[in-house]
Amino acid sequence: MDAFYASVEIRDRPALAGRPVIVGASGSRGVVLSASYEARALGIRSAMPITRARRICPQADFIAPRHEVYGRVSAEVMAVFRAVTPQVEPLSLDEAFLDVSGSVRRLGRPARIAAVIRATIAEQQGITCSVGVAPSKFVAKLASAHCKPDGLLVVPADRVLDFLHPLPVGALWGVGERTGEELARLGLRTVGDIAQTPVATLQRELGQAAGSHLAALAWGRDERPVVAAVPEKSVGAEETFAADVDDPEVIRRELLRLAGRTARSLRASGCVARTVVVKLRLANFRTITRSRTLREPTEVTSVIYETACALYTGSGLDRRARLRLVGVRVTGLTPVATAGVQLSLGEPAPSWQQAERAVDRIAGRFGPDAVRRAALVEPHE
């Protein structure tokens, strides 16, 4: 993700767009956790003390972190990844390796897969990500950093050395300040310089393990596989209104949009869910959650939406209570392949599943706004 925490804050507060935004704990010991690219252009960096950031950029918007929100967004992003391949190795809340070698036949070339991932995250979460595509984890990570923000860079196998060798030695994993000084003493400034240095020389000057490691990376060799992690146990979406809302119809319309996003994340993860949870935050910041367990697990927007509306009505907040945030989440996830569905005699076969999967395919080919529910079309459209 690009400036993950800051991007989520800007998404939830559109008035911050284009401004220097700094997310970090306040106090004399607080540090910068994330900074928008406008703040980075002014010299702000992650892990910088907040007190120093205030001196450098007093005009910035300083925001306390909301780790719960970032965790939920991260879970939904990871669900998008797992819709592409089960081989997903998260590095942190906002970064992961994907091995897509088993998905090419189904989804197309890696560059197309990367483009679909970027478009899906932008549509579902309202934030951007940068993707590097390469034959190894090391080169893919470098490529993703190289094309930030909001970029896509493909490094084919036959162009790996062309990409690597002009880079400074600090681009290699394991080259910190001290190792960088040792390499500079040897006259090695670029990755190409290291590649042209005998391995024995590197081992003698840096130690056997470090010398061998840097020599391999300088030639693009990284044999580490992607190690899949355990999937998340819930998915969902939430929205903070630009101004407090007390109109039940507006709130129900937002619940429909969030139910659609949640259902898409479910389908993307290959799961169905048994429990629907609604989050309602009032204007005074009091937060209420309500949940209901379904008779049968679902991945269908209308089922999630109707349950969410019933929970909203049951909370009593549909009587003109002013809300600043609403959210929809589903838990009790089960892979579709293992989920049993109870069929009732005399009832028509379910069709919404097929319809919504068709819409997913259309969105993947023509963009996220190619098809929408009529209730979500804006009046001016």
Q: Which residues are catalytic?
A: 95
Count of Cβ atoms closer than 10 Å to residue 245 Cβ: 18
Q: Which residue has the tokens 């407090």?
A: 244
Nearest to 57 by CA among 86, 73, 36, 79: 36
- CA distances (Å), 180 to each of 44, 78, 227, in order? 23, 34, 30
Q: Classify 62 as helix, strand or coil.
A: strand
| b/e map 106-128, b = 16+ CB within 10 Å | ebeebeebbbbbbebbeebbbbb
> Alpha helix locations (H) across the chain?
4-12, 37-40, 50-56, 67-84, 104-107, 110-125, 137-146, 160-164, 177-185, 191-195, 199-206, 208-218, 248-269, 301-314, 352-366
Measured CA to CA, the distance from residue 93 to residue 78 in angstroms comes to 9
Residue 148 has phi, psi (to 5 degrees) of: -70, 150
Q: How far is CA 246 from the centre of its chain?
A: 31
Cis ω on the peptide bond leading into residue 335 (within 30° of 0)? no
CA-only gyration radius of the chain, Å: 24
Measured CA to CA, the distance from residue 323 to residue 119 in angstroms comes to 30
| CA atoms within 13 A of residue 252's CA, in its CB half-sphere | 14
